[in-house]
């Protein structure tokens, strides 16, 4: 896997490291309720509670409000499509902000995310807004957009 380097690292204040798995860490943060519900609906909770390591580019609540309600409701009812969308946000291995560099990073869904570091870090169309929420099985980076594979 490529090393990734963040230019102008963004700190995620108030969250301490290594006490919980990725799912518990995200739930404890309080800003991933829709993501947690989607992981449950897709049957991915146990996977992301597993050994890993994983890196999740996690949309917080606001990005889900940008998805039309009818589309989001339909997505939550279509387990196959929901799984494809959610796994597009997951990279195998723990990728910390100090590891991020521009280039392609393969997701567990298959297609690669295009990481850019000019003017901040982006993963495809999503801007990384906070980094390095550490869990005992990986890391979470907060993004401002739900990534929908084409």
- Name the CATH superfamily for 22-143: FAS1 domain (2.30.180.10)
pLDDT digits (tens, 9 = 90+) for 88-139: 999 999 999 999 999 999 999 888 999 999 888 999 989 999 999 999 999 9
User: Per-residue confidence at 19, pLDDT binned at 50, 70, 90?
Assistant: low
State the Cα–Cα distance between residues 120 and 126, nearest whole angstrom: 11
User: For the segment 47-77, what is each residue's pLDDT rounded down to a tens digit?
Assistant: 999 998 999 999 999 999 999 999 999 999 9
40 in helix, strand or coil? helix
Residue ranges per structural domain of the chain = 22-143
Q: Closest Cα partner for 56 from 98, 91, 13, 108?
A: 91
């Amino acid at each position: 896997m490529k090393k990734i380097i963040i230019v102008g690292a963004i700190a995620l204040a108030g969250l301490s490291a290594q006490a919980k798995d990725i799912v518990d860490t995200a739930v404890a943060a309080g800003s991933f309720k829709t993501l947690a519900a989607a992981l449950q609906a897709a049957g991915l909770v146990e996977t992301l509670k597993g050994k890993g390591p994983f890196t999740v580019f996690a949309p917080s609540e606001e990005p889900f409000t940008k998805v039309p309600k009818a589309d989001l409701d339909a997505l939550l009812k279509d387990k196959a499509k929901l799984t494809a969308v959610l796994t597009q946000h997951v990279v195998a291995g723990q990728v910390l902000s100090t590891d991020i560099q521009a280039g392609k990073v393969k997701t567990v869904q298959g297609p690669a995310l295009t990481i850019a570091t000019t003017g901040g870090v982006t993963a495809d169309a999503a801007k990384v807004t906070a980094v390095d929420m550490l869990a005992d099985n990986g890391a979470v980076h907060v993004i401002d957009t739900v990534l929908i594979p084409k």
